[in-house]
Structure 1
Amino acid sequence: MKKIFKIILLLILSINTFSKENIDTLFLYKNYQLEGKIKYDIFKMAVNGYEKINSKENKYFTIIDYSKPSYEKRMVILNLEDKNLEYYTYVAHGKNSGAEKAIAFSNKLNSYKSSLGFYITGKPYYGSFGYSLRLKGLEENFNSNANVRNIVIHALEENEKTSIKKFGFLCRTEGCPAIPRKISREVIEKIKNGTIIFIYGEDESYLKESSYIR
């Protein structure tokens, strides 16, 4: 029996991407050790949407859970080739989305709010926050203005622990999912050029209307 299980396990882990037809989502969830980090229902939404995106680089997949407060780690980066959780870290939200928790979201220019949904990463560049990564929003009405809003991944302005200690929550942005400076460059180098990012938040409109998560 153990031998049969090992064979099945090897077959599952040999697949480079998610597939609803041949991979059990709960098994994946446990294999990536996501319990206590990302809720299973959110992971299931992420996998459903991921499978609907055809043109993508299948090495990394990033999930951000804005239903958690910013003083907790709420961003996971999955290595789809090695089948492991490569990063579990802090991530900021937009200053008009809320203080310790993101509760309001927008796709509008100058809203200074975070935008939900699926993104595909572009090319890195040097901007006002240093080495940064361009993002393209894939969902009309939810994040399609990411480019004109300059929603990018960049380093946090302040050390995450210092910020949380000072304010009780992570320093906020103009809508960008900023991450700790000490890992920002290496993360950008890994997830650049066509990998997928899913940003989840407790927003009734998105949960009802997004065609990706259903």
Structure 2
Amino acid sequence: MNYSEKNHSKLISGVLVVLAFVTMFFASSSYAESMYNRRVAGGRLLFDVLLEQYVPREPLDLIFRMFDYNEGRIPNTDYAVLVDYSRPSVEKRLYLLNLRSGRVERFHVAHGIRSGILETRSFSNLPDSWKSSLGFYYAKGTYLSSKNGLSLYLDGIDRSNNNSRIRNIVLHGATYVSEDFILRNGRLGWSEGCFAVGLEHVQYLINTLQNGSILLSYHKDLIAYSRRYPSEQSLFGDEIIPPGVNTRRNPGEGGGTD
């Protein structure tokens, strides 16, 4: 990404950040091009088609509102991503939403090594926290990491994730994100806060998202809390670890970025 692209990305993020908070408190707009009015083949409403594929309603509503209140500012209106950290890591909790066809694809995605064992219970926007962060991200531009290969830049546009560039929070592939890893450890591998996905899917996801997409990192019990207390958010109580789950870090987990 060159200097002008970086500035353009920052400018867009600066415009979106205020509107990201607006989406939390107001109903969807009545724009002629409202995402709520978009229909798929057969004439059915896109929103309803996505709900029928078990996309959670609250974060889907937030994503649609983000598009409506930022009409013309988000280049990629064909795809968006929801990462539902309310779900344990053994589930495919990254939802790739095709906003033209209504198709939903799901993928495994890691959380930060200090965010929890099997569950994602603690989030942070602080540098060196090694935790995941909640909120909206703007994805644009790629680079080659010597540690993680092809990686997707993510600009956090909420107060709960606006240190993403400082923290080197990106989307990248990792060997510890696989069904085989889950079978051996009882959980998915941990990142240092990045959205690490399977190596076999990273190229596809980056190609789909790199031209100005939005990604929502969500937890049903903490997303609203993150607006009031943006630095750190945690669930009460200790995580209950099922028998057989490996609680130790394996070699290669949390590979970091450069």
Picking from 67, 73, 87, the partner of 1:68 is: 87
Residue equivalent to 2:70: 53
Superimposed CA distance per residue, residues 120-148 of structure 1 (whole angstroms, 9 cap, x where no aligned partner): 102111101011101000012x0000011
Gaps of 5+ in 1: 1-14
Residue equivalent to 1:135: 154
Contact 1:136 1:147 (C-alpha < 8 Å) held by counterparts:
yes
* TM-score after normalising by structure 2: 0.67
**Change beyond 3 A, Cα 1:94–1:53:** farther
Give 1:209 deviation, angstroms.
6.9
Contact 2:176 2:190 (C-alpha < 8 Å) held by counterparts:
no
After superposition, residues 177-188 of structure 1 pair within 5 angstroms as 177-188=195-206
- 195-204 or 125-134: bigger deviation: 195-204
Give 1:32 deviation, angstroms.
2.7
Residue equivalent to 1:11: none
Contact 2:181 2:189 (C-alpha < 8 Å) held by counterparts:
yes
Give 1:17 deviation, angstroms.
6.2
Whole-angstrom distance in 2 between the partners of 1:154 and 1:82: 26
**Change beyond 3 A, Cα 1:111–1:209:** closer
Paired amino acid for 2:117: A
Residue equivalent to 2:124: 106
**Change beyond 3 A, Cα 1:158–1:16:** farther
Picking from 113, 133, 136, the partner of 1:118 is: 136
Paired amino acid for 1:44: D
Paired amino acid for 2:127: L
Contact 1:29 1:35 (C-alpha < 8 Å) held by counterparts:
no
Whole-angstrom distance in 2 between the partners of 1:129 and 1:187: 15
Q: Name the SS for the 1:108 alignment partner.
A: coil
**Change beyond 3 A, Cα 1:79–1:103:** same
Q: CA RMSD in A?
A: 2.4
1:206 pairs with 2:226:
yes
* TM-score after normalising by structure 1: 0.80
After superposition, residues 1-214 of structure 1 pair within 5 angstroms as 18-19=35-36, 22=37, 27-32=45-50, 34-36=52-54, 38-54=55-71, 55-57=73-75, 58-85=77-104, 87-127=105-145, 128-140=147-159, 142-201=160-219, 202-203=221-222, 205-206=225-226
Q: Name the SS for the 2:35 alignment partner.
A: coil
Paired amino acid for 2:63: A
Whole-angstrom distance in 1 between the partners of 2:167 and 2:93: 23
Gaps of 5+ in 2: 1-31, 231-258
Whole-angstrom distance in 1 between the partners of 2:33 and 2:101: 9
Q: Name the SS for the 1:186 alignment partner.
A: helix
